[in-house]
Amino acid sequence: MYKHVFKRLIDICIGLVALPFVLLIIIVLGPIIYFTDKGPVFYNANRAGKDYKPFKMFKLRSMYVNAPDIRNADGSTFNSDNDTRVTPIGRFMRKTSLDEFPQFLNILKGDISFIGPRPKLYCPEKYPNGLPEFMKKSFLVKPGVTGYAQAYFRNSITNEEKFKWDGYYAENVSLWMDVKIIFQTFYSVIARKNINTEQSYKK
């Protein structure tokens, strides 16, 4: 009942409560983002939702316009305190997770949930024969603004490990687990734990 009914109702309530704060953040940070390099305020990424269906995820842009796409060896996004692609305001937003706040708009749209696996890149061309087995479980539920792997490990583990923990969450969704993830997320953000990864990477 919680997974299929109450979770969505809670999402709508959270989205409506967060909406004024989201608009305030956009009003305050939007001009700074724009005048940094005269680029767009938002970064609308192609992401995979429940059942691996695509959707546009809203984020505040934290990188310079036309920054190269650099990846770790396992295909995950490269993050570093010394990443020259990130703007000064982008560095602040990433450390405080303010760049993620527009995703509350995705919650209201029904694309994502407040708690769920972090949205993954939508790349169907990479899987012509279907998703690998280790990835499938993580797409049984809607992605979220924060999730089990995000709250407990953030960027300190590999992509495959994230899929493992996201799959664990998808199979064990409960109100109590969601509450624990919320508290762990606040702790991780305040303590600024596991924000970046210095793994080897490839372009």
pLDDT per residue rounded down to tens, the chain (203 residues): 898 899 999 999 999 999 999 999 999 999 999 999 999 999 988 999 999 999 999 999 999 998 877 766 656 666 666 788 999 999 999 888 899 999 999 999 999 999 999 999 899 998 998 999 999 999 999 999 999 998 988 777 888 899 999 999 999 999 999 999 999 988 887 776 555 544 433 33
Q: Is the pTM of this model over 0.85?
A: no
- CA–CA–CA angle 96, 104, 71 (5° rounding): 55
Q: Which helix (H) or strand (E) holds 184?
A: helix 175-191
How far apart, in whole angstroms, are the C-alpha atoms of residue 34 and residue 57? 19
How far apart, in whole angstroms, are the C-alpha atoms of residue 24 and residue 55? 24
Encoded tokens for 82: 């010394």
CB 102 within 8 A of CB 42: yes
Residue with tokens 């939007």: 30
Encoded tokens for 127: 């899987």
Residue with tokens 């940070």: 29
